[in-house]
Amino acid sequence: LFLFLFLAIVLGACSVTKHVPDDKYLLDEAIVRVEGKGVSSSGMYEFLRQKPNSSWPLLGKVKLRLYNFAWLRKILPGLTEKPVLYSSRLTQVSAQQIQLEASNKGFLRAGVDTLVVLKGKKAKTVYTIHPGNPYRIRSYHNEIPDSTIRRIAMRVGRNSAIKKGVLFDLEKLDEEKARLTQVLRNVGYYNFNKEWLYYKADTTLGSNLVDLSMALYPASDSLPHRRYRIGSVTVYSETDALESPNAKSNSINTVDYKGIKIIYGKSRFLRPSVVYKNSFLRPGKWYSERNVNSTISSYSGIEAIRQVGVNFTDTVIRDSSYLNARIVLSQGSAHAFQAGLEGTNTAGDLGVAGNLGYQSKNLFNGAEILSLKLRGAYEFVSGSESYDLLSQDFYEYGVETSLLFPQIMFPWLSPQIKEQPNAGTEFKVSLTNQHRPEYTREFFNVSLRYKWVSPSNRFSHAIDLFDVNFVRMPWVSQKFEDSYINNDKYPLLKYSYQNQLISRLAYTNVFTNARRRNTRGNFSIRSGIEFSGFLPRLAGLLGGTTTHADGYKELLGIRYAEYAKLDLDFAKTNRLSEFTTWAYHAAVGIAKPYGNSEILPFEKRYF
């Protein structure tokens, strides 16, 4: 609070007009008003060609005031702002830009008035928009002469935002051209450009109505726009194979795999099946830009590949157009090492922690990733004298290893599902030991997870087929047990130091619209459901559990947890203006213990 008041006093003493010449005015404020409906003032503010200096909440134009300090301008120029001087020319340009944008939104007869208020050495500009009545579409059809493209356009138009009664919005019209262009580029029309599409608009009907049609410029050779199929697909693996593509056969290893030619360099660092699986380009299929991007994305997701390139050469065979694909894969490093060391300070207790990591990025020449991580920590505990213990130190060590396969390794699934891109199967095991003056605690985890992403990259899924967490305290000092674990004053602390066995089955889904074009706000929805206790119950059917005197069942001498849990998480950002973005976050969840549990495990509770 003192620092805030001090800063406010210092900045308050700095004049914002100190560096404004006598014959000039500081643009102190710019306001956009709308007299009517249908036009957003905040949206139009973005089109101003001259805006005031930035302002901070409560403190005002901090950067402008800091500009008064010459030494600060030199040392930290990013913290200062030069005064924005009022310009009558830029005010006129801003009014024209606002009027043009209103016209693009369908308000063809919009007008903009400007008012400049001068006070001292400051100026305030006010832009008043008179939108008038908007123009709306009365009819919409296409006049595309190419019969194939016309049929595709008619099919795409069924879900079009351009229809009778909507505003004559040029931005929406451009989005419709882009949408149709994207569809065409995914059904064989290689390098189709949206600028080849144009609109014919008749605005002379009166009553602010528009008859609209979409048309297509003819191809440069006056022939129908070419539609391409994929011809040959050749994958070059390792850059040395590319330096001399006409090298002798004994120096280059060529493999034909399911219609795709793979040319290796010195070694086959990826198996042919992996190369084939990650390419979505198939001979004889229509060219698709989506498949090209998916191919690049899929190969780029392989840690053993450093760089990916795809190019095409066109050819004509018996009056049919083909694209011969050439995919270039550059091998990256197959191994990675990591080491870290840091000092720690926990409530005044000094210590040191370190970790060592190793990763094999292509274990079996199939893009499998093996990770191994060792970690340790040592701390001098100074607050345990009251326990009358021999050791006053805390140390911890652990190991974590995982193996990731770039496919869904589960029986009874079709090859298309198993080998889809951006999919993986991860098996993980970790073990940690903690030794404190008050207790010794052991952690063990083993899990198997399947994960994959939808072709649109908007949905991601994860299934934890099993995730077993085992926590055991083999030794606890008597005084710690009496003071905390068996003390009813600390019920939550008591449960956090109990032996635990959690065996969970879970599914998680995340949806996001962040990859949509022309959105003013992005959002994501994360949902998850999990159950615990399935594997211990199965072990019980096989005679692997025992019954405690209190009636609950134990596996490996520990009471296992049973519960059901459902979570939903929503996050959204909303861009209000060029400088303002709101973020929203809401979460809700419900969990219930059942069967062998009367209460949720400590780490699964919400509070």
Note the pLDDT tens digit of each residue in 490-507: 777 777 888 999 999 999
The answer to whether residues 50 and 29 touch, using CB atoms and an 8 Å cutoff, is no
Q: What HEC string does 279-312 produce?
A: CCCCCCCECCHHHHHHHHHHHHCCCCEEEEEEEE
Q: Are residues 235 and 348 in the same domain?
A: no
In angstroms, rounded to a whole number, what is the distance separating the alpha carbons of residues 65 and 74?
15
Which residues 6+ apart lie within 8 Å of 430 measured at CB?
A: 398, 399, 400, 401, 443, 444, 445, 446
* Whole-angstrom Cα Rg for the chain: 33
Mean pLDDT, the chain, rounded, equals: 88
418: pLDDT confidence band, cut at 50, 70 and 90? confident
Which of 71-75, 308-312, 438-442 has the least mean pLDDT? 71-75
Q: Are residues 355 and 463 in the same domain?
A: yes
**504: in domain:** no
Domain end among 445, 464, 498: 498
Q: What average pLDDT does this structure show over 341-367? A: 89
In angstroms, rounded to a whole number, what is the distance separating the alpha carbons of residues 586 and 525?
10
Domain end among 190, 216, 242: 216
In angstroms, rounded to a whole number, what is the distance separating the alpha carbons of residues 237 and 302?
13
250: pLDDT confidence band, cut at 50, 70 and 90? very low
Note the pLDDT tens digit of each residue in 196-210: 999 999 988 778 999
* pLDDT score at 520: 60
Q: Are residues 287 and 420 in the same domain?
A: no
* pLDDT score at 144: 93
**144: in domain:** yes
Domain end among 445, 472, 498: 498
579: pLDDT confidence band, cut at 50, 70 and 90? low
Which residues 6+ apart lie within 8 Å of 137 measured at CB?
A: 162, 163, 164, 165, 166, 167, 168, 209, 210, 212
Note the pLDDT tens digit of each residue in 104-131: 999 999 999 999 999 999 999 999 999 9
Distances (CA, A) of 19 to 9, 125, 152: 20, 20, 61
Residue 448, pLDDT > 90, answer yes
340: pLDDT confidence band, cut at 50, 70 and 90? very high
Q: Are residues 272 and 325 in the same domain?
A: yes
**554: in domain:** no
Counting the structural domains of the chain, the total is 4
Closest CA relative to residue 170, chosen from 141, 207, 218, 134? 134
Q: Are residues 413 and 454 in the same domain?
A: yes
Q: What is the domain-level CATH number for residue 318?
A: 3.10.20.310
**251: in domain:** yes
* pLDDT score at 417: 79
Q: What average pLDDT does this structure show over 533-545? A: 91
Share of the chain above pLDDT 70, in %: 91
Burial 498-510 (b: 16+ CB within 10 A, else e): ebbbbbbbbebeb
In angstroms, rounded to a whole number, what is the distance separating the alpha carbons of residues 337 and 372?
10
In angstroms, rounded to a whole number, what is the distance separating the alpha carbons of residues 537 and 119?
80
13: pLDDT confidence band, cut at 50, 70 and 90? low
Q: Are residues 353 and 494 in the same domain?
A: yes
Q: Are residues 360 and 486 in the same domain?
A: yes
Residue 419, pLDDT > 80, answer no
Sign of the Cα torsion 101, 104, 105, 108 reads positive
Which of 75-79, 146-150, 563-567 has the least mean pLDDT? 75-79
* pLDDT score at 408: 92
Share of the chain above pLDDT 90, in %: 63
Burial 228-237 (b: 16+ CB within 10 A, else e): bbbbbbebbb
295: pLDDT confidence band, cut at 50, 70 and 90? very high
**312: in domain:** yes
381: pLDDT confidence band, cut at 50, 70 and 90? confident
**576: in domain:** no
* pLDDT score at 245: 47
Q: Are residues 173 and 243 in the same domain?
A: no
142 phi, psi to nearest 5 deg: -115, 150
Determine how many CB atoms are found less than 10 A away from the CB of residue 219: 12
Note the pLDDT tens digit of each residue in 465-482: 999 999 999 999 888 888
Q: Are residues 364 and 304 in the same domain?
A: no
**249: in domain:** yes
Q: Are residues 81 and 199 in the same domain?
A: no
Residue 311 domain boundaries:
228-331
**111: in domain:** yes
Q: Write down the number of H helices and E strands in the chain.
A: 14, 25
Q: Are residues 176 and 249 in the same domain?
A: no
Closest CA relative to residue 485, chosen from 544, 554, 438? 438
* pLDDT score at 19: 86
Q: What HEC string does 70-122 produce?
A: HHHHHHCHHHCCCCCECCHHHHHHHHHHHHHHHHHCCCCCCEEEEEEEEECCE
Q: Are residues 353 and 480 in the same domain?
A: yes
* pLDDT score at 327: 96
Structure tokens given for 360: 């094999």
Q: What average pLDDT does this structure show over 288-300? A: 92
Tell me which residue has tokens 């620092």.
3
